[in-house]
Structure 1
């Protein structure tokens, strides 16, 4: 039976991605929903995009836009950098593109520009990198950058009074529009977790692969999940975003 699998933040860790897809025993009819941040971190950022472009030719995939994907896309278009980006994985992405031709960079730009801000499936599950701010739902969002930059969505879910029910007046309206929401962006390691973590109806699949954590894949129906080895063990001579 075909599965829908959500994949957490990769951050240039192609070795971890290949490993975890193998451990999840991905089949040709599975739908893979990538939650963004394919780049900025380990040394295989550009190579990760190559892999995903090829994967799309033989696998049903949905690619969500992450904030780091937007940063690399902007750099490819403008050649402009900023210190904050460079200090949060940008240097590794620039290095990974050093040998790439203009034609290859153009192909990658087309990939970045085709990324979706969010996806809602037939079961009313939402997939988004970070979240959204408009209480009336994502379709009313005034600032598209919220979909891949906002951290208040996860913070709201983590800090929610666990005794509240969805029909309580105090319950956050943003959490009432979808059956479940699958996100990345903010590593669950920040709350001392190392596996895909549920808060209210929000599932965070970012298990810290950019740092000392693992890359995770979760079956959105059964909640079974698979993880790579910690990425620093797969890239022992690198620091990822720990530098």
Structure 2
């Protein structure tokens, strides 16, 4: 069994399909860990959720955009009462996509996917997976889940993820400075700007071999994204 780690998707279902097709990842045999932010930006968040739900042995972490989207899915307020920060930061695409679906789909995705996302995941080989980062001076179990989906300190200051063999994060795009996964200390960043003009990345944790989608803007011509 291999473990594969997947970067921030942001509603780009076409990019998700590409990396799954291009990778030697074996559904049902290998483990897939998604680092969060399945939602917001491109117009196919529901399709992304369906695809991830269909992959056995998959683990889903909560991203900050998933947190926003989950709040709306849980309560479904009308458009006039939406969190405007979320709506303007890519949430409009998620809101519109689910508006084209059914109430049953909203309820199922919330209960079967978004409510089951984890704040972080530790594997048996000593690796940590977390959406944004964490404070390496404090045991991660003692840290606020809110910080784990928002903080950029670990990456911004090139800190070592002490107590772990390696750490895998998303949240802070390396694009456009780097269009491929980047390592600082023992931390790997798998967010290559798929929400904007970059690509989606899928990496084998052991070998560090990775595949990427086409530039996501090319997959959605005429669509703004985030």
Superposition deviation, residue 154 in structure 1: 1.1
2:67 to 65, 70, 75: 70
For residues 77 and 178 of structure 1, the distance between their equivalents in structure 2, rounded to whole angstroms, comes to 34
Structure 1 position 224 matched with structure 2 position 209: yes
- 3-state SS in 2 of match to 1:97: helix
Match of 1:119 among 121, 128, 134: 121
1:156 to partner: Cα distance: 2.0
Q: What is the match of residue 49 of structure 2?
A: 49
Query: Equivalents in 2 of 1:134, 1:102: separation in Å?
Result: 41
SS in 2 for 1:103: helix
Task: Assess if the C-alpha contact under 8 Å between 1:134 and 1:140 holds in 2.
Answer: no
* Structure with greater Cα Rg: 1
Which segments of structure 1 move beyond 6 Å, counting only runs of 4 or more? none
Unmatched tracts of structure 1, length 5 or more: 161-171
Matched, 1:92 2:93: yes
> What TM-score do the two structures reach when normalised by structure 1?
0.87
| 2:174 aligned partner | 188
1:171-202 per-residue CA deviation (whole Å, 9 max, x = no partner) reads: x6xx2111100000000116x01101000000
> What is the match of residue 21 of structure 2?
22
For 1:1-243, what aligned pairs fall within 5 Å after superposition? 2-28=1-27, 29-55=29-55, 59-78=56-75, 79=77, 80-110=81-111, 111-133=113-135, 135-141=137-143, 143-157=144-158, 175-189=161-175, 192-241=177-226
Q: Give TM-score, length-normalised by structure 2.
A: 0.93
| Displacement of 1:99 | 2.4
* RMSD after superposition: 1.3
Does structure 1 retain, via aligned residues, the 8 Å contact 2:33–2:60? yes
Q: d(CA) in 1 for partners of 2:117 and 2:134?
A: 16
Could you tell me how far apart the structure 2 residues matched to 1:225 and 1:51 are? 20
For 1:125 and 1:198, how far apart are their aligned partners in 2?
14
**Counterpart contact for 1:19–1:228, Cα < 8 Å:** yes
Deviation at 1:100? 2.2
C-alpha displacement at 1:139, in angstroms? 1.4
How far apart in 1 are the matches of 2:86 and 2:103?
22
**Cα distance in 1 between the residues matched to 2:164 and 2:174:** 21
Q: CA deviation at 1:38?
A: 0.2
Instruction: Report the secondary structure of 1:39's partner residue.
Output: coil
